[in-house]
Structures are given as C-alpha cells and as structure tokens.
Amino acid sequence: MKRKVLSLIIIFVFGIFIYTLSHVKTNQLSTKEKIEDFEHMYDVIKNGYPYLDVNKRLNNVDWLENKDKYIKRIKNTKNDEEFIEETSDILSELGNKHTQLIDNKNRYKLFKKAYANNNWYDFLDDKKVIDRYNSIKPKIKISKNDFSKKELILKDVVKDKVGYIYLPSMPSSKESTDKALSYINTLEDYKALIIDIRGNGGGSDSYWQSIVSKLIKNDIKIHGYRVYMNNSKIIKKYTDARDLKLEPIKNLPVNKEKAPKETFEKFSDFEKIHYTIKPDNNLNFKGNIYLLIDKNVYSSAESFSMFCKETKFATLIGQTTGGDGGGIDPVLFKLKNSGLIVRMASGMYLNKDGICDEEFKTTPDFKIKRCKRTKSFKHDICIKKVLELENIN
C-alpha cells in the first residue's frame, strides 16, 4: 500500500513539474517580438540611412525591396542567437562598415564608455540592454593576420634616403602620435617618405592631421559638405544633440550633375565642413611623400586618402579605397524587445564638387593589382613602385 501511495506521489509531482516547464515563459524572444524589432530597424533605415541608393548603384542591392525576404529569414530563426546572427547579416547587405548590429558585449562596453560623457543616448544603461549583452556568448575568433601583429612600424626602407611609417589604425593615443612624430623629425635630408595605411579601418582624424602638420610649410584648407535626412526622428534627435549647424538642402552649393541624384530629392539638410591644417615643425623636409592604400582603407583613414588626393600632399599607390570618409560618428538606436543596439551611418559626405566619397571612394595615382603588404620591403610591389619613381635601385 505504501509503495502504491509513493508511486502516486511521484507521478503527481512529475506531472506538476512537466506542466510547470510547459507554461513557464522562456527568456527567448517570440517570433512576434523579433518581427517588431526588425520592423522598427527597417523603418529607421528607410527614413534615415543615407546610402540606400548608393548601395543600389554599387552593389545592385535594393535593400528596402527585400523586406519580405528579410522577414521570412527572421521568422525562420529558432532562438535569440540565430536572430542576432540573421539581423547582423541583413544589415551587412547595406554594404557599409559603419552600419551594423552591435552583436557582442565588448563592443557594447566600448560604445557605452565612449558616449558616457555626453547626452546623445538615453538607453545605454537600460536594464534590458545590459541584460541582453550580458547574455550573448562570446565567439572565439582565430586571427587571420598572415605575418605580424598590427603595430606601428617606423623604419627606413633605404637607410637615410627613404623613410617608412606603417599606420595600422588611427588611434587617439598620444604615445603612438609622439613616436610617429619623433621619427619624422629624423627625415629632414631624406629623398622620400612612405606612409602605409593599407588595411587601416580608421580611428581619429587628429592622428593623421598631426602627421601632416609635421610635413607641411603652409596652411592647407579643406572644405566639403555632409547631408542628412533630418526628417527622420532618430537623425534629427542626433543632429540636435550634437548642435550641428544645418541649412536647407536647397541651398547646397554643389554641382548638381556631380552630386548623387537623390541628394536634392531625399535629403533635407546639409552642414558645411571647413578645417585648416597648420604647420607645426622646424623640419626642412623637401622629399616626396607616398601614401600606400588598398580596398580596406576606411573611415578616418579614408579621410586621409581623400585629403592627399585633393591637396596633392602625397602620391597615392595601390588599390581604390573602401570609402565613407569625411563623416561624423554613426548614430546608435535601440531595438525595443531584444535590447540590441544598431549602429547606422548618420550622414553622407560630399566633397567640394558634390562627389560622394562612399560611392566613388579614392583612386590611386598608380594602381597596383597585387598591393598586399609583405614581410620584407624587397618583396612589396607598392614599395618597389616608390623606389622606381625615385630612381633608386
């Protein structure tokens, strides 16, 4: 009898356990919540993303027309991890490295720290955001660097004749800046200087501008324009927070034939960009300057390429760059249900003639098909080209 009662109790308890499991709400997003987040992201991009038409022309991708396909892909995700990966892949089809899902905790912490001292965003400390990024499992990535760590290199290609500076990024580090400037101070009697930014994805404009300051004798002035879709609530809130001085797009003083055709149809406002780089040296360097570039040059590294091309500060050697220089920080916005953060290009940069850098990028003066950096200078085809131009064997 006791065994029978015990068996009934076990069956009863087990039944309650199974019932509870089937009715407890999981922490995973529902399909409805995923679709709501996608719809919000889609609307923000539709109303505020500056490069939809550029993407059509460059990559033949009509991102807005793919909405139904994207929703189907979102619906097919089985859990939050798949939703995150799919959303990230969908955003990558916009073809812009400044537009992406913040898909890991380290990147979230980086942006949270970067924007801690301003009032641009009110969601970086939201509990849902914090919980989301705490829940994402880190992915182990194997480095594909083929021969060296990406570190600043300061070394003569030809002793006392041709200097070489490799800038793997554009950091705001004073230590890195000081090292580069100290090396430049030794180049006064050199015949040439090579500045290598192949693979440089960007960072701080002030870094490359400080290098330029060491190598020029007179002020160099640059001007261009940034155009915005300020009818978007997300973009307007951002431009207001940054207190940008905007003017109506109808007053944009560029050649309408050279500007993207959507500039005066889809954008609402523009900002004038003016800056001057002043000399800061006692250096009497009279040699030629060469900039080595490739398809991975982007953002502030691209701004440096644009500067060199426009001002003739340096001769460009390598491949056409990756683009999107001249902009300001991308805007961040939150997806309500998941707590995920999306980063999106906030405006389109046009040079003084109205040409869009993201579309046309920067072309080299001397195109090198195989322009990859090599372990030694003697095997580097771009460096060989410099030596050829300098008549150095």
Kindly state the average pLDDT of the residues 50-68. Answer: 98
Judgement on whether residues 100 and 190 belong to the same structural domain of the protein: no
The domain total for the chain is 2
Q: How close are the terminal C-alpha atoms of the chain, in Å?
A: 102
State the pLDDT at residue 173. Answer: 87
Judgement on whether residues 300 and 191 belong to the same structural domain of the protein: yes
pLDDT at 100 over 70: yes
pLDDT at 127 over 90: yes
The tokens for 75 are 């619906």
Q: What is the mean pLDDT of the chain?
A: 91
Q: Domain end: 106, 135, 164, which one?
A: 135
| pLDDT tens digits for range 286-296 | 999 999 999 99
**Residue 141 covered by a domain:** no
State the pLDDT at residue 19. Answer: 41
Q: Domain end: 135, 167, 194, which one?
A: 135
Kindly state the average pLDDT of the residues 106-135. Answer: 94
**Residue 143 covered by a domain:** no
Cβ contacts of 88-92, under 8 Å, gap ≥ 24: 90/38, 91/41, 91/342
Q: Domain end: 135, 162, 187, which one?
A: 135
Domain of residue 310: give its range: 153-328+345-389
Judgement on whether residues 369 and 239 belong to the same structural domain of the protein: yes
Judgement on whether residues 245 and 350 belong to the same structural domain of the protein: yes
**Residue 65 covered by a domain:** yes
| pLDDT tens digits for range 261-272 | 999 999 999 999
Q: How sure is the predictor about 146, in pLDDT bands with cuts at 50, 70 and 90?
A: very low
| pLDDT tens digits for range 21-40 | 333 345 899 999 999 999 99
**Residue 217 covered by a domain:** yes
Judgement on whether residues 209 and 166 belong to the same structural domain of the protein: yes
Judgement on whether residues 289 and 218 belong to the same structural domain of the protein: yes
**Residue 45 covered by a domain:** yes
Judgement on whether residues 230 and 324 belong to the same structural domain of the protein: yes
**Residue 144 covered by a domain:** no
Judgement on whether residues 108 and 178 belong to the same structural domain of the protein: no
Q: What percent of the chain has pLDDT over 90?
A: 85
Judgement on whether residues 63 and 184 belong to the same structural domain of the protein: no
Q: What percent of the chain has pLDDT over 70?
A: 91
State the pLDDT at residue 393. Answer: 77
Judgement on whether residues 98 and 172 belong to the same structural domain of the protein: no
pTM for the full predicted model: 0.87
**Residue 201 covered by a domain:** yes
| pLDDT tens digits for range 323-357 | 999 989 999 999 999 999 999 999 999 999 999 99
Q: How sure is the predictor about 117, in pLDDT bands with cuts at 50, 70 and 90?
A: confident
**Of 350 and 19, which is predicted with more confidence?**
350
Q: How sure is the predictor about 176, in pLDDT bands with cuts at 50, 70 and 90?
A: very high
State the pLDDT at residue 25. Answer: 43
**Residue 108 covered by a domain:** yes
| pLDDT tens digits for range 204-223 | 999 999 999 999 999 999 99
Q: How sure is the predictor about 234, in pLDDT bands with cuts at 50, 70 and 90?
A: very high
Judgement on whether residues 230 and 364 belong to the same structural domain of the protein: yes
Judgement on whether residues 131 and 64 belong to the same structural domain of the protein: yes
Kindly state the average pLDDT of the residues 232-253. Answer: 97
- The CATH number of whichever domain residue 288 belongs to comes to 3.90.226.10
